[in-house]
Amino acid sequence: MKKTIIKGTGKAIPSQLVTNEDLTEIMDTTDEWIQKRTGIKQRYWIPKGEEIGASDLGLEASLKAMKEAKWEPKDIDFIIFATLSPDIFFPGSGCLLQHKLGLTSTPALDIRQQCTGFLYSLATADSYIKSGLAKKILIVGAEVHSTGLDKTTKGRDITVLFGDGAGAVCVEGVETNEDIGVITSVLHADGSGADALMVELPASRLPQRLPLDMLKNDARHFPSMNGQKVFKMAVKKLPQVTKETLKKAGLTLDDIDMIFPHQANLRINEFYREIMKIDKNKIFNNIQKYGNTTAASIPIALNEALKQNLVGKKGDTVLFVAFGAGLTWGGIIYRF
Ligand code: COA
């Protein structure tokens, strides 16, 4: 039977380190407030004034993942690109990345599922592989948030949370009877909560799409968030979907060696850990260094955990779990 196996991972982190202290120089905030509420100490943003899009960070992460997988660009037969911050309104960043890889006809798909983007991508890749539609798939989660944030005190509740970055994973269909690779995927969405975290403009539903008066008065091209609603939903949905994913796989938490929750807020992940009674060393967090990199957060975390040899031994079983804008949430169990 065909299994979806991870062959390589890579990450790209932009060069401009932005500490909490740096943010206090541009808005009314403190290192203490940010760390206490979110756990974040620093994040990386693309250098000011440089034109670097999600597909550029995605390219760097992809080349590293492909090197590890020993793939040439021509080996890729499908690209899945998850981002909420595409380089341009359209076409999708997957097409832009495909061109940057020197490819001319390889199909490319963009996934717009925000913090759950990597999970939707991996589940989609798994379906393409198991149905025989593709064999070698490049999955990328990449975000450039920093060019779209309100960096004044007005936007401080959101701006302090987000960092730029990219993670890439090469997955391949392998014939084996072993119980390895993607074991189970669970995906959910509830569009009734779309306005809890969104960027409204440009909006095709508006006559002018990007009305200049709205930009001046309401700044509706910046993200808006009901932080408390998102927080409460996250600490409810993450445990729920963890139980659902484990049940679907016929496993228990004891069978899981490491959990990779989306990196939205360390407090959310601590609540989740306490509710689920998860051992401290069974959960991987790196939000302290990178902030919330949305679709990139789980592939970056996986790359780091693999490099630190925390996971990756044959038989290691991991759970990816995420909740975010959409609202969307999901869980995936993967065995090395
Ligand atoms: N620095 C200093 N003060 C800030 C601040 C900042 N960066 N951002 C907000 N504040 C202020 C608020 O203005 C408010 O002041 P007031 O009491 O005078 O009105 C006070 O801090 C409390 O704000 P509140 O929004 O109630 O804080 P909170 O405890 O809910 O924490 C978040 C805010 C955003 C950290 C929290 O709601 C959160 O993490 N939510 C989930 C967000 C998330 O994960 N989003 C991504 C999902 S994938």
Q: Where are the beta strands (DSSP E) in 205-246?
A: 224-225
Q: Is 151 in the pocket of ligand 1 (CB under 6 A)?
A: no
Residue bearing the CA closest to ligand 1, atom 1: 29
Tens digit of each residue's pLDDT (9 = 90 or more) over 255-306: 999 999 999 999 999 999 999 999 999 999 999 999 999 999 999 999 999 9
Give the per-residue pLDDT at 208: 87
Query: How far, in Å, is the centroid of ligand 1 from the Cα of 13?
Result: 26
Residue bearing the CA closest to ligand 1, atom 10: 157
With the C-alpha atoms ordered 242, 247, 249, 253, is the resulting torsion angle positive or negative?
A: positive
Q: Is 113 in the pocket of ligand 1 (CB under 6 A)?
A: no
Instruction: State the DSSP string of 271-289.
Output: HHHHHHT--GGGB---HHH
Look up 292 and say whether it is catalytic: yes
Give the per-residue pLDDT at 46: 97
Give the per-residue pLDDT at 213: 78
Q: Is 163 in the pocket of ligand 1 (CB under 6 A)?
A: no
State mean pLDDT over 158-185: 98
Q: Is 292 in the pocket of ligand 1 (CB under 6 A)?
A: yes
Give the per-residue pLDDT at 54: 98
Residue bearing the CA closest to ligand 1, atom 8: 157
Tens digit of each residue's pLDDT (9 = 90 or more) over 88-129: 999 999 999 999 999 999 999 999 999 999 999 999 999 999
The whole-model pTM stands at: 0.96
Which of 26, 149, 157 maximizes ligand 1 atoms within 8 Å of its Cβ, making it the mutation to test the pocket? Answer: 157
Give strand pairing partners of 38: none
Look up 217 and say whether it is catalytic: no
Looking at 170, 262, 265, 269, which residue is catalytic? 262
Phi, psi of 319 (to 5 degrees): -120, 125
Tens digit of each residue's pLDDT (9 = 90 or more) over 206-249: 988 988 877 777 788 999 999 999 999 999 999 999 999 999 99
Which of 29, 37, 229 maximizes ligand 1 atoms within 8 Å of its Cβ, making it the mutation to test the pocket? Answer: 37
Give the tokens for residue 327: 């609202």
- What atom of ligand 1 comes closest to residue 264's alpha carbon? 44
Cβ neighbors of 131 (< 8 A, separation 6 or more) are: none
Q: Is the pLDDT at 34 greater than 80, yes or no?
A: yes
Q: Where are the beta strands (DSSP E) in the chain?
A: 2-12, 16-19, 42-45, 78-82, 108-111, 136-143, 165-175, 181-189, 197-198, 224-225, 258-261, 317-324, 328-335
Domains along the chain with CATH numbers: 2-175 (3.40.47.10), 181-203+213-335 (3.40.47.10)
Tens digit of each residue's pLDDT (9 = 90 or more) over 35-60: 999 999 999 999 998 999 999 999 99
**Measured in Å, how far apart are the chain's first and last C-alpha atoms?**
16
